[in-house]
Each structure stands twice: as C-alpha cells, then as structure tokens.
Amino acid sequence: METFLQSHLLWLTLTLAVYAGSSWIFSRLHLGILHPLLVSTVAMISLLKLSGVSYETYAESTDMISFMLGPAVVSLGYVLYQQIDHIKRNVTSILVSTFAGSVVGVASVIGILRLTGADEAVIASIAPKSVTTPIAIQLSEHSGGIASLTSMAVVICGIFGAVAAPYMFKIFRISSPVARGLAFGSSAHGVGTAAAVRMGAVEGAISGLAIGVMGVMTALALPLVSALMRYID
C-alpha cells in the first residue's frame, strides 16, 4: 500500500485529474474564489496530508509538469507576435505602468513589513513577490532573503491576483484589454497571465510581456527603493 501511495504515476495522474476537475467547476460557476489553481492547491495539500506522502516524493512525481512550464512560457512569444500592433501602439503605457507597478509593489511591502517589525531577511524575501519565481529568487538571495519564503510569497501573490483582479476590474470599471493585461502580468506574473489568456488574446499577450518587463523594472527598483526606505528610517 505504501509503495502504491508513493508511485510517481499515481501522483502525476491525480494532479492532472484534480486540475481538470477544478477547471471544469470553474468553467461552470465562474467564481473567482474557485480558481483552478487555488482549488487544486488546497485539494493536493489535503491529499498529501491524508496519505502521509512527503512533498519531496510529490515534487519528484510531478517533475514533468514543472518541466513543461518552460515551453509554456516560451509559447507566449507566439501570442506576443500576434498582438504586435497593440504592443507598438502602447509601448509608453507598458513601460510607465510596469515601472510604477514595480516601485509601488516593492515600496508597499517594505513599508508595511518595517512598520510591523519584520526581520530584514523576511523583508528581502517578500519584496520581489510580484515577479516570476526565477527572477524573484535571484533578487531575494542577492538581498539576503530566503528562497523558500520568496517562492511561497510569489505563489500566494499570483493566486490572489488571479482571483481578485476580475472583481477589481468590475469595481473600478476597467475595460481596456491593455490595462487588464498589464495589471495581471505586473502583479500576478504567470498565474495572472493564465487568467488573462482566458479573458482574451490581447490581455494574454500584454500580460505575458508585462512579466518580463516587470522583472527588469523590479531588478532596477528594488535596490533603489530599499536604500531610500533605509535612509528615511
């Protein structure tokens, strides 16, 4: 029984099945709180806890899914090519918006955590939360942060952004596909981009572009904002 529970094929199949089921539920109910990634994460954590299988075993079993993230990101290049006209017409908006988003995102985290008395390592770990995981981890480690805490912050930020963004668009009456794409990509990175693609082709393309631009902008803004906040203190 223990060998069966630790079977790589079992956990890979379960993960795909749970995500497929979560996507089906989301497509029927269209409730943000039932976002497939959020539901799948909760379901798989529960299954691992009940079965007693370690995360290391699960991670090894689903390594194929992690590997496919690379080709999935690269495939966004084709979507960008299809929407090249929208991108050319909005170059200034994209650059200004992502720079403002990076500064606000970093400054708000540092400010709030300093007010609550958080340790410098924690601040360095969470500050780059709004960029994709590989970039966030590099920025975090360079600043003395903890890679595992950074990864967790990035995932939570992505899920929250993907779930909350559609409601925010309705509340503030944001209908521009470019604005929506920028919001998704600059605040919720890959998870937000997946939600943006479901919303529309333009939203998906702009969001995919915003991920890369946001990474560059955050790499530039993080040390400057951190130094400024320390000076103010």
Domain ranges for the chain, please list them. Answer: 2-71, 76-232
What per-residue confidence (pLDDT) applies to 229? 78
pLDDT at 204 over 60: yes
Q: What is the pLDDT of residues 218-233, one digit of tens each?
A: 999 998 888 887 777 6
pLDDT at 194 over 80: yes
Distance CA 228, CA 226 (A): 5
Side-chain half-sphere exposure of 115, counting CA atoms within 13 A:
6
Average pLDDT for residues 188-196, to the nearest whole number? 88
Burial of 117 (C-beta count, 10 Å sphere; 0-12/13-18/19+):
exposed
What per-residue confidence (pLDDT) applies to 207? 92
Band (pLDDT 50/70/90 cuts) for residue 86 is confident
Q: What is the pLDDT of residues 142-154, one digit of tens each?
A: 889 998 899 889 9
What per-residue confidence (pLDDT) applies to 4? 55
pLDDT at 17 over 90: yes
Distance CA 184, CA 132 (A): 12
- Length of the chain counted residue by residue: 233
What percent of the chain has pLDDT above 70? Answer: 97
Does the global pTM surpass 0.85?
no
What per-residue confidence (pLDDT) applies to 181? 93
What per-residue confidence (pLDDT) applies to 102? 92
Average pLDDT, the chain: 88
Q: What is the pLDDT of residues 126-183, one digit of tens each?
A: 999 999 888 898 899 888 999 889 988 998 999 899 889 988 999 999 999 999 999 9
